[in-house]
């Protein structure tokens, strides 16, 4: 099965499908932790509020994992999706910017449990260098190239203001970083062939929430009139 989707998944899977995979993974992990070993496609679709055909289409991008009349074997599907998402290995992570956000990420122990091993933080504030956050050392950002030459690292979290973020990203990429989890509110100007970037905008999610709140209140007002 693995060989099948490795062939099928080579850069052809739409990004909307990829973005739904972590949710499948989360639901299946929840089912597993509750001892549920098998789930029908209808039941999974009802729990996730996604049509059964959407689930089938999504999984077909990777070869499909269900069986007619059986549904899905939860552990197998969980492991396969984990493999698709690259979660069956560990990643070394550094955090650039040891302020409120960087410290919160460093202290969130679930990342560690899930295989994202935070190794160190870096900051331009000399007062922070030499401190420990969430059990990890904080170094001055000027020492990044030296650190990276000695400690191969997979992912950098960018939790600094947008001013200077692009310059820091260039240093990261020049020193071997291939994945950036970018919280700085700017689009990094970098060569997409060399590095993958996930931009995180908590405020986008909050704005969608306020839109939905507005819709809900308008609907309530409409039914009250």
Q: Rule CB under 6 A: which residues touch ligand NAI?
A: 96-102, 122-125, 141, 159-161, 164, 168, 183-185, 200-202
Smallest distance, Å, CB 35 to ligand NAI? 36
Neighbours of 50 (CB within 10 A): 16
Smallest distance, Å, CB 176 to ligand NAI? 18
Smallest distance, Å, CB 30 to ligand NAI? 25
How large is the C-alpha radius of gyration of the chain?
A: 21
Enumerate residues 6+ apart whose C-beta is below 8 A from 108.
134
What distance separates the 2 farthest-apart alpha carbons in the chain? 68
Nearer to ligand NAI, 48 or 200 (CB): 200
Residue with tokens 């990094």: 188
Nearer to ligand NAI, 125 or 146 (CB): 125
Q: Which two tokens stand for residue 180?
A: 């950036």
Adjacency order of strands within the sheet including 116-123: 132-133, 136-140, 116-123, 91-96, 155-158, 179-182, 196-199
Let me know: does 204 contact 221? Beta carbons within 8 Å. Answer: no
Nearer to ligand NAI, 8 or 186 (CB): 186
Nearer to ligand NAI, 74 or 158 (CB): 158
Q: How far is CA 165 from CA 25, 74, 97, 160, 183, in A?
A: 32, 41, 10, 7, 10
Nearer to ligand NAI, 5 or 122 (CB): 122
Smallest distance, Å, CB 55 to ligand NAI? 29
Smallest distance, Å, CB 145 to ligand NAI? 13
- Looking at beta carbons, which residue is closest to ligand NAI? 99
């Amino acid at each position: 099965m693995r060989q099948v989707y490795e062939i099928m998944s080579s850069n052809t899977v739409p990004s909307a499908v990829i973005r739904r995979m972590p949710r499948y993974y989360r639901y299946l992990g929840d089912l597993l932790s509750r001892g549920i070993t098998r789930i029908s496609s209808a039941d999974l679709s009802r729990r996730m509020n996604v049509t059964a055909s959407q689930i089938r289409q999504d999984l077909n991008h990777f070869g499909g994992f269900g069986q007619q009349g059986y549904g899905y074997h939860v552990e197998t599907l969980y492991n396969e999706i984990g493999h698709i998402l690259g979660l069956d290995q560990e990643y070394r992570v550094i955090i650039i910017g040891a302020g409120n956000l960087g410290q919160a990420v460093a202290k969130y122990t679930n990342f560690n449990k899930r295989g994202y091993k935070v190794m160190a933080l870096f900051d331009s504030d000399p007062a922070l260098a030499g401190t420990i956050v969430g059990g990890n050392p904080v170094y001055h950002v000027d020492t990044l190239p030296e650190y990276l030459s000695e400690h191969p690292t997979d992912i950098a979290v960018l939790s600094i203001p947008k001013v200077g973020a692009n310059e820091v990203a260039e240093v990261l990429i020049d020193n071997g970083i291939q994945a950036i989890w970018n919280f700085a509110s700017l689009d990094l100007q970098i060569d997409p062939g060399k590095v993958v970037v996930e931009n995180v905008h908590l405020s986008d999610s909050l704005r969608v929430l306020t839109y939905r709140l507005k819709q809900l209140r308008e609907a309530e007002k409409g039914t009250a009139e």
